[in-house]
Structure 1
Amino acid sequence: MKRIGLLSDTHGYIDTLALKHLKECDEIWHAGDIGNMETVDKLTKIAPLIAVHGNIDGQEIRAIYPKHQRFLCESVDVWITHIGGYPKRYDTNVKPEIFENPPQLFISGHSHILKVVFDTDLNFLHINPGAAGIQGFHQVQTLVKFTIDQKNIKDLQVVEFGKKGRL
């Protein structure tokens, strides 16, 4: 059983409240637009990090983190990418593989809009954790925590840690 902390779109800023919530996790997953290596360092001090690069990430991050991560967590097939779209509106970035070989859990970022949606056509859970940073149009910084226990994804929790940029 693994407790996962999922975030995206930090854009080089990681809130101390986010770090506090992530300390409860066995792994941290980042769905791109990390922003800088300082953010990577802060996250990896807490737990192992699985991440993808996003469209704003520079060469240093792109050299370490790929465009897509597809892996097994427990017995769940997971696919993380930054720009993935949503059910019925997947980005060309993930077509046609998402239709030919759908994962059980599909994670993307980019939109800064928190969504948890079950794709009934392809039979998998899609999560976009919103944006944990302070850059962008979103008003509230968010992340998602959940547990993967063998084949089960459970105990999903949305964490809102205040209006962005508060002091």
Structure 2
Amino acid sequence: MVMAWRFGAVDVDAVMTVIRDPATFADWMIAVPPELRAAANWPQVGSVIERDDGREPRARHAHNRQLVVAVVETWRPDHELVVRLRSGLGGWVRIAVNVQPRPGGALIEVRADPLTATARLRFTGSSRGRAEERCAQVAERLIHLATTEEPED
């Protein structure tokens, strides 16, 4: 397991709003393809994020597991999201994002646990530092997206 924390002068609700929006998933999650499609019930437990190749699956291929990028394992709307994420280099990784209120902002904790042997290889030796850096980048991107003001019409 690797873990990283980042503090931002941002409200917990603002961070959770970013997480709730499936359109921002590729913006804050590291190493996922930009073309994604979320289930209608995102981020409820069991909902998925899939690659979106622009075509709708049909007939017996209506549910192609190869397209699944992330599956929600835990959702606590006030502070936590846990997803099982398909690693870009193979295997599955559990990513947990926990947002805690602090005076003047929020502390965002991101934990990553490899679930398969191929993913575990990326969490040992010199690769461990890179995995910690990716966790930190997830927190930093969430802070950035939560503090970005909406453009006025």
Q: Same fold (TM over 0.5)?
A: no
Computing the radius of gyration over CA atoms, which structure comes out larger, 1 or 2?
A: 2
Q: Of Structure 1 and Structure 2, which has the larger fraction of its residues in helix?
A: 2
Q: Of Structure 1 and Structure 2, which has the larger fraction of its residues in strand?
A: 1
